[in-house]
Structure 1
Amino acid sequence: MTEHLFLSEKGKKASSTLARVDLDVYFEALENRYHPVDNPSGALPMSVAENQLCWDNLKQKFQQITRKQDIPDWVASYGDAAGVASFREAIASFFSEFLFGCPVNPESLACFGGATGVIEMTAFLLANPGDTAVIPAPSYPVYTGDLGVIPGVKRYDLHTHHELEEIQNEISISLEKLEKTKNEIEAQGSRFKLLILTSPDNPTGMIYSEAQLRSIADWCIAEEIHLIVNEIYGLSRFNLDHPQLRESYPDPIPFYSFGKLMHEYQSPLLHHWYSFSKDFGISGFRIGVIHSHNSGLIQGSRNAGLSHSISNYTQWVVQEMLSDHDFLEEFFQKHTHRLTEAFLTVKKAMDEVGTPIQPAYGSLFAWVDFSAFLKEESHEGETDLWLEIFEKTGVLLTPTDGFGHSKKGLFRLVITSLSPNELKLAMERLQEFFKNKK
């Protein structure tokens, strides 16, 4: 065993710890990917949060930009580590027009290589090693590594529900729960330093109401805790007026962007995360954004974030796309339609086999309860069901290990990683599997 020779303790841990527990199975699925002619029995991966719905539109737009425009000279030179001025101006205009609904100062933005870079840099600059970030659970498993590997910040899962019925109207989080959590963390010798919310949420697809965000923001400011709202799925919202969805949302909550509240409060303790990987489906472009009225955080990002800088060529192409608001308007109309149809495909299939599914507001996911099919309610039972589904159907779901959920048997289905025909096929395979299980 020589693979750990000459590594630091952190290096040894990184060398032996996968970023995700399902990576090996995911790569296996990719090697046996479904094709309607060449491999009709192949795998249909629905585990990684990629959005394939509108790449055809974006690809055409990017090709048009690079064909018709000369590459500016500044692309070949060094630029601002937090994003060149014209790029941040384009993002500020995009936020203002499409997400926040209020003015945005480009100087309040810092841009880095993907959501991971943003999370890591924010935690590094706002918290000390050993401090704690509280995250309503279930939530994104890789937060653990993004917060912990380099910043050294601990993750605390604050359970919001056990059964799906507990979050039918909104995510269950109260000031009493937050206060109790703060006391527990302090009793363990740590500090409750960061509170991270995601809206729409991963994996539940739920959102936080304006009243919730105001109440939580007021509490965090009073307690001097940094509140971060991740709106990485902020424009991936379902059309709740669709005739086949309307009855599932008798009293829907309006989406309220945290950026609008930040504009009102102007607090150095409130922060916003965004990435272009989900709403736009360009995860490979690696673009993440911190928005904050804390000038120290933005300047610190600029000074310490060189290793997370985005290539100037990427910034140029994306800023040109963002500057065309007519294109963006049409793009998001198509995206909302295709996203809603994808969610309906999954919802109909799950309803037909009597499997509970969360009536989500948005995101790229369906949060589904398969607990009735567990051989035993344990981590092992959950893993066995996950692998059995993959082995017998070729459909790879996201395992719940790392989500921090208290109940076993709930799984995340990425509804945007397949074409419409592939998604229908995946649902047919799952329906047959669960009918046989019954």
Structure 2
Amino acid sequence: MTIPTLSLKGISAAQTPARVDMEIYFEALGNRYHRDQNPTGTFPMNVAENHLCWDILREKIQQITRENDIPEWVASYGDPSGIPDFREATAIFLSKFLIKKPIDPNTLACSVGATSVIEMTAFLLANPDSTAVIPAPSYPVYTGDIGVFPGVKRYDLQTHLELEELKNGIPISIAQLEKSKEEIESSGSNFSMLILTSPDNPTGGIYSEKQLRTITDWCISHQIHLVVNEIYGLVRINHQHPDLIQDYPQPIEFISFGSIMQEYESPYLHLWHSFSKDFGISGFRIGTLHSYNEDLIKAYKNVGLGHSISNYTQWTLTEVLKDMDFLDSYFSAFQEALTESYLIVRSTLKELNIPFNPSYGSLFIWMDLSEFLKEKSAKSEEELWLNIYQKSGILLTPTAGFGHQKHGLYRIVITSFDHEDLQLAMKRLKDYVNAKRSSR
């Protein structure tokens, strides 16, 4: 008999990958397409990374490191929730570009990436075995982020079935929230958190100001923590582009939840942000919590040492955030590049008559490939996902974990490759779809 060398949690961790597609993702990365060195390579388009304007930001960072001496304090310990200069620079940045209202740096706590912020927030706000409600479909790794260490359960709230139901925004209602609360409490758990993502992952939808205010009032009245994840808050497509405007007959204006929070200053309202997606620096590992709950910020400081960001990283990004002229030009270039990527993928899906949800933002398009399923089942979804990869080299995000009731919906990341390479990836997708239809 083999004696286990790990704890029960350790055994579970060893047997449970963070994502079901990680092994095949690393395989695809090892054979990634390159127009000269590997023209028959693969297109991993399943992980939410933004590679569009890294060259612009890299040049700025290189300039900073060439022209400035590293401060003495960088080599020392600092505030676990972020050094004061970094939190101040982040507060000014969020005030100008996202929230559009001044915010106090003391309402911010920072740690190593969005994953850390989500985990820490759930750990500090919700008791183990309580439940977080998340409208489906949604980010699969929320399950691990709120569950592995905080021990919080995930409840996938089914707000719709078909893509067509998203045309006027994400159709969440108070009646749905009331029903989920009754089901959770009847199961012996407690509805402790509601997590919204705006712009949404994977649908690209956004919540209107009216929706946010209605949900805010409901959550406060029931003492439920409302957290809005705006990690894609600055990853917004120009839906006023002349080639896109017809897709949005009743356009929704993006309003940061931070502006609503400032009016209420409620201990039940919180916002998440990260520099990973808008700046395309996932590897820098910088996430931010914004909250007027003073006890939450204090608790974050007290237990956040193991989640603190490297001082060198904080210093470097602080210098970037000080240059408002650079930030203006960067985000102008980024939105233009993002919109072009979206146009490339959108035009392909339109040509192929593949249903998709018109996106307001994020790094994705959420599309319906259910016509190619052998049957409406999770097994058939996985078979199709693998077949697309094997035949075309395109690795989509698998459907497992999104928590949605309809089979055959897949996410494609539109920012993994430059525009020339993305065009080739779309040609491969066309060839695959046409061959699949011909074979039937």
Shift of residue 5 of structure 1? 2.1
Partner of 1:352: 351
- One-letter identity of the residue aligned with 1:306: L
Determine if contact 1:170/1:207 at 8 Å carries over to the other structure.
yes
Where do 1:69-80 residues align within 5 Å? 69-80=68-79
Partner of 2:301: 302
Cα distance in 2 between the residues matched to 1:341 and 1:286 = 27
- One-letter identity of the residue aligned with 2:197: T
Tell me the number of residue pairs that the alignment of Structure 1 and Structure 2 aligns: 437
**SS state at 1:278 partner:** coil
Cα distance in 2 between the residues matched to 1:214 and 1:69 = 45
- One-letter identity of the residue aligned with 2:205: M
**SS state at 1:368 partner:** strand
Residues 1:60 and 2:59 aligned together? yes
Partner of 1:192: 191
**SS state at 2:376 partner:** coil
Shift of residue 32 of structure 1? 1.0
Residues 1:429 and 2:428 aligned together? yes
Partner of 2:212: 213
Where do 1:168-247 residues align within 5 Å? 168-247=167-246
Determine if contact 2:159/2:176 at 8 Å carries over to the other structure.
no
Partner of 2:143: 144
- One-letter identity of the residue aligned with 1:354: N
- One-letter identity of the residue aligned with 1:328: L
Partner of 1:328: 327
1:135-156 superposed Cα distances (whole Å, 9 cap, x missing partner): 0010000000010000000000
Q: Which runs of 5+ in 2 are unaligned?
A: none
Cα distance in 1 between the residues matched to 2:76 and 2:27 = 40
Residues 1:35 and 2:27 aligned together? no
Moved more, 191-200 or 5-14: 5-14
Cα distance in 1 between the residues matched to 2:334 and 2:171 = 29
1:341-376 superposed Cα distances (whole Å, 9 cap, x missing partner): 101100000111110011110000000100011111
Cα distance in 2 between the residues matched to 1:43 and 1:51 = 17
* TM-score, scaled relative to structure 2: 0.98
Determine if contact 1:136/1:197 at 8 Å carries over to the other structure.
yes
Shift of residue 37 of structure 1? 2.0
Where do 1:398-413 residues align within 5 Å? 398-413=397-412
Shift of residue 74 of structure 1? 0.7
Kindly report structure 1 stretches of 4+ aligned residues shifted beyond 3 Å.
Answer: none
**SS state at 2:280 partner:** coil
Cα distance in 2 between the residues matched to 1:395 and 1:323 = 39
Partner of 1:362: 361
**SS state at 2:132 partner:** strand
1:106-125 superposed Cα distances (whole Å, 9 cap, x missing partner): 00000000001000100000
Cα distance in 2 between the residues matched to 1:399 and 1:38 = 28
Q: Which runs of 5+ in 1 are unaligned?
A: none
Residues 1:23 and 2:22 aligned together? yes
**SS state at 1:279 partner:** coil
Determine if contact 2:341/2:414 at 8 Å carries over to the other structure.
yes
1:11-50 superposed Cα distances (whole Å, 9 cap, x missing partner): 1100110000001110110111111122211101100000
Shift of residue 241 of structure 1? 1.2
1:75-103 superposed Cα distances (whole Å, 9 cap, x missing partner): 01100000000000000000110000111
Cα distance in 2 between the residues matched to 1:18 and 1:269 = 32
Shift of residue 162 of structure 1? 1.2
Cα distance in 2 between the residues matched to 1:96 and 1:34 = 39
Cα distance in 2 between the residues matched to 1:159 and 1:430 = 30
**SS state at 1:328 partner:** helix
RMSD, aligned α-carbons = 0.9
- One-letter identity of the residue aligned with 1:164: L
Cα distance in 2 between the residues matched to 1:431 and 1:408 = 21
Cα distance in 1 between the residues matched to 2:85 and 2:266 = 25
**SS state at 1:130 partner:** coil
Determine if contact 2:48/2:413 at 8 Å carries over to the other structure.
yes
Determine if contact 1:30/1:45 at 8 Å carries over to the other structure.
yes
Partner of 1:280: 279
- One-letter identity of the residue aligned with 2:322: S
Cα distance in 2 between the residues matched to 1:369 and 1:436 = 17
Determine if contact 2:111/2:304 at 8 Å carries over to the other structure.
yes
Determine if contact 1:44/1:422 at 8 Å carries over to the other structure.
no
Cα distance in 1 between the residues matched to 2:39 and 2:431 = 16
**SS state at 1:277 partner:** coil
Cα distance in 2 between the residues matched to 1:137 and 1:111 = 27
Determine if contact 2:131/2:152 at 8 Å carries over to the other structure.
yes
